[in-house]
Amino acid sequence: MLVQPGERDALVARYERLRRCACEPHLGQERRGLALLLRHGMAAWIEAWLSCAVRDVPAIAAADADKPVLPDSVRSELIHVLAGMTWNRLQEICA
């Protein structure tokens, strides 16, 4: 497994987030990475991140960064659908 210079910095940053998650469980974003590291070791964890890494992603222009991804009407409808799904699931659990 050959790690490129640019990938090394990204791996170090990911590992530090993983380490913080292990030390502070309320920072639970990295749980799958922690399970992989504990069960299969550092080499497997590095290989998994390298295989998932997105390369050469173009930067978002500052003008485009402020534009909403979805129009307000679609976003509003999506919120209602997700809220309805959540409400129905909660009723099933509590019943």
Closest CA to 37 of 26, 50, 48: 48
- The domain limits of the chain are 1-56, 66-95
CA 30, 4, 43, 52 torsion-angle sign: positive
Per-residue pLDDT of 84-94, as tens digits, reads: 998 888 888 88
Closest CA to 44 of 11, 13, 19, 17: 11
Q: Label residue 25 by pLDDT band (50, 70, 90).
A: low
Taking the whole predicted model, whether its pTM rises above 0.85 is answered as no
3-state secondary structure of 70: coil
- Vertex 18 angle, CA 14 and 24, to 5°: 140
